[in-house]
Structure 1
Amino acid sequence: MDNYQLVLTEHLNHYGYLFGGTLLKWVDETAYIQARLEHPGKRFVTVGMEKVSYKQSVELGSILKFEVNRQARGNTSVTYEVSVKLASHPEKLTIFTTQVTFVCVDKNGDKSAITD
């Protein structure tokens, strides 16, 4: 699944670049959307991100492309790789990559099996 985000003024830090926490929020949300699309009606919560390492600053007006691919699925969890690229750059430079793991939970917040 691919998703896009436009970097606006409210997404910038005090140096005028994309705030890292905003990027993490978008990565988490994009991976969550993929989990819900693949497993309709299931509830998921984020349990971790593999590694957080920013490869370059992102400026105002940049268009980011989020590419999400499932990496693993267990009985109660699913992991996605999320790559973030500068879609507005001719070479589509990758600026961030991580793996996001979710666990499926029931209405009480207890682990639940993922069944399709």
Structure 2
Amino acid sequence: MRFLSRRLVMPNDLNFAGSLFGGRILEWIDEEAYIFASCQLGAKSLVTKHIGAITFETSAFQGDVVEFGLQVKSVGRTSLAITCLVRNKHTKQNICSADDIVFVHIDPETRQPTPHGKTKEQLDDFPEPL
């Protein structure tokens, strides 16, 4: 799993109890997974079709740095499924996981699913970032 990005938990990210709001982390997961899928496929015309099981394991608080680990789970003809793990950068404790985030490649004009032309093997060979 590649941990490619980080975010700082700010005051406006907190819920009434003073911990990271679940809706905010889901927003971040969707955004990070889209960026990862888009980079993997070399395409920006992707839509989120499905986000599977979400598991919250521990809280994050103001000032914590959270990092997002992403990996390709499976590849379809027009789709790509991603797994995301969010953890505390310093403690390495898992905060949240989202298994089975599915994006569909669409034609930008017709908005219909269209083949992306990639295989799991091609994406598994994707080079590590610098």
Secondary structure of 2:26 counterpart: helix
- 1:98 aligns with 98
Deviation of 1:3 after TM superposition, in Å, equals 0.9
Secondary structure of 2:30 counterpart: helix
Deviation of 1:42 after TM superposition, in Å, equals 4.1
Q: How does 1:1-116 map to 2 (within 5 A)?
A: 1=2, 2-89=4-91, 92-99=92-99, 100-107=101-108, 108-116=110-118
RMSD: 1.2
Q: TM-score, normalised by structure 2?
A: 0.82
Secondary structure of 1:53 counterpart: strand
What is the number of equivalent residue pairs in this alignment?
114
Given that residues 42 and 114 in structure 1 are in contact (C-alpha distance below 8 angstroms), is that contact kept between their aligned partners in structure 2?
no
Given that residues 30 and 66 in structure 1 are in contact (C-alpha distance below 8 angstroms), is that contact kept between their aligned partners in structure 2?
yes
Q: TM-score, normalised by structure 1?
A: 0.92
